[in-house]
Structure 1
Amino acid sequence: MSDVGEHAFIDLAGITKRYAGVTALDGVDFTVQPGEAVCLAGENGSGKSTLIKIISGVEKLTEGRIRIGGKDRPVLNPRISAAAGVMVIFQDFSLFPNLSVYENIAFATQLSAHRRLYERDKAREIAREALDRIGVKIDLDVRVESLPVAHKQLVAICRALASQAKLIIMDEPTTALTEKEVRRLLGIIRRLKEDGVAVIFVSHKLAEVLEVSEKVVVLRNGKKVAEGPASEFDTQSLAYHMTGREMPETPPSAVPAGAKTLMRVDNLAKQGSFADINFELNAGEVLGITGLLGSGRTSLAKALFGLVAPDRGSIQVDGRDVATGDPIAACYAGIGYVPEDRLTEGLFLSQSIVRNVAIGRLDKHSGSGGFLKASAMIEEAAGWLKRLKVKAPDIDAPVQSLSGGNQQRVVLARWLSRAPRVLILNGPSVGVDVGSKADIHSIIRDLSAEGIGVIVISDDLPELLATSHRILVMRDGRVTDEVAGNSVTEEELAHRLAS
């Protein structure tokens, strides 16, 4: 046994997991030292989630050896794993929304102590100590459902610490956080590491986790393909190891001189959301709109598509007024909208892939007697799925069976089948892996080259810089700045957002 393995808190050797003949993990070795932060990277389907489930005892391995805390674990389940100090913080945080902060933090500790009666004062003391340990102040008595996302995450971290966590696994820890909140979280992680608590990050936002990680492990198709100090990796090299291909971000081609104005927005306002929004969008232009959480960017996106009715102002497409607050009118005017939350707003998850694409053009595929022409639906949908490189074993499979990146392309295919003049993309790469993200950026550039006006609404600054000709910065519901995409760095844009 290696010296590294002897002193590791987590020491996995030759981990293999098969599901009905499909190999999800193939001979993976993985170690985590006390106080070490490890970035576990890989595309969707690479085996990251399976590895985390094995460490936390949710899944049983097919072959291999597991040691946690210096002890062999031939039998492992969630209770044993948690007792050994392994805690997982999922994207939804798995908190009790109707309970208070202190009850959420201390609940598991009180339960594991096997006390006959719940001790309120003891629970408050446990919660206060956990909050003090990471140096944050949150009202102990407030209900968790009323907290902002960043505070919910801190409550989840404190719950893990109250349960004597020695390893905290964070699944996409920065997805819903603002830049300021991410900075704060990374500071807390450094504080935990100084206390000897190890951390595993599973994240698509690679630049952020590289900043605080000592080691990077990359999985691809169930195998470990790269491992080394975080200092030896950058986002480009990580992307290469994760996908097996180079993915340079080429800037968008220039908007042709004299390009026609597609969309004009004048004095658009919605009380409590945004005010005095004015801009023009030209044919073939990609306009980025960014702002911190609460800046009004999402309300504006929905207002442009008619999902939010503004109090005043006007929207024109091709010189014609578009009725505001009316998504059907927006559709007929040639406006398309891909929402940020594709799972609840963008897809019919239980329906087939082909139906999710074809629903955008049911009028075109309607035959005599009101019946749909199935062959025409399938032919058109298959064409768009091929063009957008959707990886699907069967177009009749439910869309929920696809990865996040492929689901996003299905939503894009639905709107592109309507030949929109203006396409609004709200968080186009949220929750997708690095390979799909690069492909989506390439699709945006292709749409721009075809003369479609694209509006990209995102807080992902590298994404905006890779796709946008112009970028509008929003704060407190107003546009506070406008920059050319090729004339600003990521650091300068972040400064404009925060200032």
Structure 2
Amino acid sequence: MVSPSTMAAVRKSGAIPNAEFLLTAEGVRKEFPGVVALDDVTFRLKRGTVHALMGENGAGKSTLMKILAGIYTPDRGQVRLKGVDIELSSPLDALENGIAMIHQELNLMPFMTVAENIWIRREPKGRFGLIDHGAMNRQTADLFKRLNIALDPQALVGDLSVANRQMVEIAKAVSYESDVLIMDEPTSALTEREVEHLFAIIRSLREQGIGIVYITHKMNELFEIADEFSVFRDGKYIGTHASTDVTRDDIIRMMVGREITQMFPKEEVPIGETVLSVRNLSLRGVFTDISFEVRAGEILGIAGLVGSGRSNVAEALFGVTPATSGTIAINGRDVVIDTPTKAIANRMAFLTEDRKDTGCLLILNVQENMQIAVLQDKFVKYGFVQQAALAEQCEDMARKLRVKTPNLDERIENLSGGNQQKALIGRWMLTDPRILILDEPTRGIDVGAKAEIHRLVSEMARNGVAIIMISSEMPEVLGMSDRIMVMHEGRVTGFLDRAEATQIKVMELAAR
């Protein structure tokens, strides 16, 4: 067995044996309390290829990648780099061996410059052992030129957009002269143009012989950028194929173990009276004169490019960031909603776009996350919480939503993204809302969980709930909406009925 330090030295010397695969994992098993995350899985990455890793949330993709990145240690199995057995005890071990991982939640220091983030702990030193900032900035500029990244090395990371922070993470990984680059959902918050730039960088790295592991739930990305893919299901390895040998339906079938006959189970339900009426809603410097109505049983989709103000409108409706002018009426009665508490009192519910930062309370268990919106209302009598009734309601809701968890005492951070999302939907369904705002309800979750969430949304519409659904995924907006409101730079640019809506028409309005 070669230790990390020895392997790193061998790597630097170039005296590494020829091997068919750049990186392999064989017979890997990993257990967590109550869960077998990986069960005898196999993974093989070739040099100079983009290898997509596919599977439902909870399939084991991220667990395996964290093993390859030195974050987790496998209970059993072997990892080989260029044919040599290695053991990785930390992310630093992995980096020194040329394995870098870019996480979905970016890990940069916002108060430091771009260059300082890239070369942290490896800063060039001048006389007397002091950091040579000039040399560090020049090294960063050279690296950016190689990657065709237009960023100022001296800019503060905290001032950068999400897309540019991602570019910094990629540059940092490449600066280690990495042989393996792992990307976890790298395009989840990027615009189409930013995705094109990212793909250009990935193709350039592939041509340089770097092996790239690409985790995504977006099928169109798989066929555009990946050379081959591997599928995991329920912690087991299902198979590997060239991306040119399969169809989208083949991949879905491998991922979920069944046919998904209807991805967007939109039902034609009776549309009732107007429940929510918004007139000339404005938030100074963010959006202006937003007016629309939503009726009982209707799904109003809100489309637009990143930065169009869609999420800001949702937050204003729910009182997170109150509007500076305009009116909101519920069932024909004007209401003032300047706090989420008032929104909930008016039977509104809001699923935020970022389940990690503004949705889940990660240190609490599943039941505590589900019950928090009703804890001081429906289940309190004479000042005491009716624990038994509350637990029963949460259990019933989790069962209805098919939340996969050992039990409701499990910390929610241990659940997959799709199951976290379903638990959050359960939180709001317990409040019996009449207005439901969904901001990116299926972002970062697999096709099986997406279909289930779409089914739940359709069911709530059938029960007369007025639904506002914000989504960056065009098929989702077109497939689930009765009407679509399109926004551009803080203004409404048009409405489209379901029968007339097309991707071209939506994009024309979104780009005005």
**Residue 104 and residue 401 in structure 1: after superposition, are their counterparts in 2 closer, same or farther (change >3 A)?**
closer
1:31 corresponding residue in structure 2: 44
2:338 corresponding residue in structure 1: 325
1:392 corresponding residue in structure 2: 405
Farther off after superposition, 223-232 or 24-33: 24-33
Equivalents in 1 of 2:377, 2:32: separation in Å? Answer: 42
Farther off after superposition, 486-495 or 176-185: 486-495
Equivalents in 2 of 1:14, 1:376: separation in Å? Answer: 45
1:305 corresponding residue in structure 2: 318
- Select 1:365's aligned residue among 361, 372, 379: 379
Q: Does 1:341 align with 2:354?
A: yes
Q: Structure 1 regions of 5+ residues with no counterpart? A: none
- Select 1:439's aligned residue among 442, 449, 452: 452
Q: Secondary structure of 2:323's match?
A: coil
State the 1:443 CA deviation.
0.4
**Residue 389 and residue 20 in structure 1: after superposition, are their counterparts in 2 closer, same or farther (change >3 A)?**
closer
> What is the letter of the counterpart of residue 377 of structure 2?
D
Equivalents in 2 of 1:267, 1:61: separation in Å? Answer: 57
**Residue 35 and residue 313 in structure 1: after superposition, are their counterparts in 2 closer, same or farther (change >3 A)?**
same
- Select 1:90's aligned residue among 103, 106, 120: 103
Equivalents in 2 of 1:181, 1:228: separation in Å? Answer: 28
Does the 8 A contact of 1:334 with 1:420 survive in 2?
A: yes
Q: Secondary structure of 1:293's match?
A: coil
Equivalents in 2 of 1:336, 1:50: separation in Å? Answer: 33
1:254 corresponding residue in structure 2: 268
Residues 425-448 of structure 1, C-alpha deviation per residue, up to 9 Å, x if partnerless?
A: 111122333322211111001111
State the 1:111 CA deviation.
7.6
Equivalents in 2 of 1:99, 1:471: separation in Å? Answer: 41
Equivalents in 1 of 2:392, 2:72: separation in Å? Answer: 40
Equivalents in 2 of 1:80, 1:331: separation in Å? Answer: 48
Using structure 2 for the length normalisation, give the TM-score.
0.89
1:213 corresponding residue in structure 2: 226
State the 1:7 CA deviation.
3.0
Does the 8 A contact of 2:265 with 2:455 survive in 1?
A: no
1:46 corresponding residue in structure 2: 59
1:194 corresponding residue in structure 2: 207
Equivalents in 1 of 2:218, 2:177: separation in Å? Answer: 28
Residues 60-104 of structure 1, C-alpha deviation per residue, up to 9 Å, x if partnerless?
A: 334444331343336665444323321111123322222211222
**Residue 216 and residue 493 in structure 1: after superposition, are their counterparts in 2 closer, same or farther (change >3 A)?**
farther
Does the 8 A contact of 1:174 with 1:205 survive in 2?
A: no
Equivalents in 2 of 1:28, 1:12: separation in Å? Answer: 7
State the 1:117 CA deviation.
4.5
**Residue 436 and residue 29 in structure 1: after superposition, are their counterparts in 2 closer, same or farther (change >3 A)?**
same
> What is the letter of the counterpart of residue 266 of structure 2?
P
State the 1:256 CA deviation.
2.6
In the TM superposition, structure 1's runs of 4+ consecutive aligned residues that sit over 6 Å from their partners are none
2:238 corresponding residue in structure 1: 225
1:161 corresponding residue in structure 2: 174
Using structure 1 for the length normalisation, give the TM-score.
0.91
Q: Secondary structure of 1:360's match?
A: coil
> What is the letter of the counterpart of residue 267 of structure 2?
S
Residues 404-443 of structure 1, C-alpha deviation per residue, up to 9 Å, x if partnerless?
A: 2222222222222222111111111223333222111110
Does the 8 A contact of 1:130 with 1:159 survive in 2?
A: no
- Select 2:304's aligned residue among 270, 291, 294: 291
1:273 corresponding residue in structure 2: 286
Equivalents in 2 of 1:422, 1:50: separation in Å? Answer: 37
- Select 1:241's aligned residue among 254, 257, 263: 254
- Select 1:72's aligned residue among 85, 101, 122: 85
2:7 corresponding residue in structure 1: none
2:11 corresponding residue in structure 1: none
Residues 220-249 of structure 1, C-alpha deviation per residue, up to 9 Å, x if partnerless?
A: 122211210112344443222122122222
2:158 corresponding residue in structure 1: 145
1:407 corresponding residue in structure 2: 420
Equivalents in 2 of 1:88, 1:334: separation in Å? Answer: 42
Identity of aligned residues (%): 36
Farther off after superposition, 215-224 or 339-348: 339-348
Residues 284-308 of structure 1, C-alpha deviation per residue, up to 9 Å, x if partnerless?
A: 1100112222211111001111222
**Residue 290 and residue 20 in structure 1: after superposition, are their counterparts in 2 closer, same or farther (change >3 A)?**
closer
Farther off after superposition, 196-205 or 62-71: 62-71
Q: When the two structures are aligned, how many residues end up with a matched partner? A: 492
Q: Structure 2 regions of 5+ residues with no counterpart? A: 1-17
**Residue 400 and residue 112 in structure 1: after superposition, are their counterparts in 2 closer, same or farther (change >3 A)?**
farther
Q: Secondary structure of 1:253's match?
A: coil
State the 1:44 CA deviation.
2.4
Equivalents in 2 of 1:332, 1:316: separation in Å? Answer: 14
**Residue 352 and residue 166 in structure 1: after superposition, are their counterparts in 2 closer, same or farther (change >3 A)?**
closer
State the 1:484 CA deviation.
2.6
> What is the letter of the counterpart of residue 440 of structure 1?
I
Residues 162-190 of structure 1, C-alpha deviation per residue, up to 9 Å, x if partnerless?
A: 21122211111011212221122112111
Does the 8 A contact of 2:35 with 2:406 survive in 1?
A: no
CA RMSD, Structure 1 to Structure 2 (Å): 2.5
- Select 2:474's aligned residue among 429, 443, 461: 461
TM alignment of 1:88-127, pairs within 5 A: 88-107=101-120, 109-110=122-123, 116-127=129-140
State the 1:112 CA deviation.
12
1:422 corresponding residue in structure 2: 435
Q: Secondary structure of 1:207's match?
A: helix
> What is the letter of the counterpart of residue 144 of structure 1?
V
Q: Secondary structure of 2:372's match?
A: helix
State the 1:396 CA deviation.
3.5
Q: Secondary structure of 1:140's match?
A: coil
Q: Does 1:58 align with 2:58?
A: no
Farther off after superposition, 76-85 or 376-385: 76-85
2:10 corresponding residue in structure 1: none
State the 1:123 CA deviation.
1.6
State the 1:371 CA deviation.
1.2
Q: Does 1:177 align with 2:177?
A: no
Does the 8 A contact of 1:314 with 1:324 survive in 2?
A: no
Q: Secondary structure of 2:66's match?
A: helix
**Residue 209 and residue 163 in structure 1: after superposition, are their counterparts in 2 closer, same or farther (change >3 A)?**
same
2:146 corresponding residue in structure 1: 133
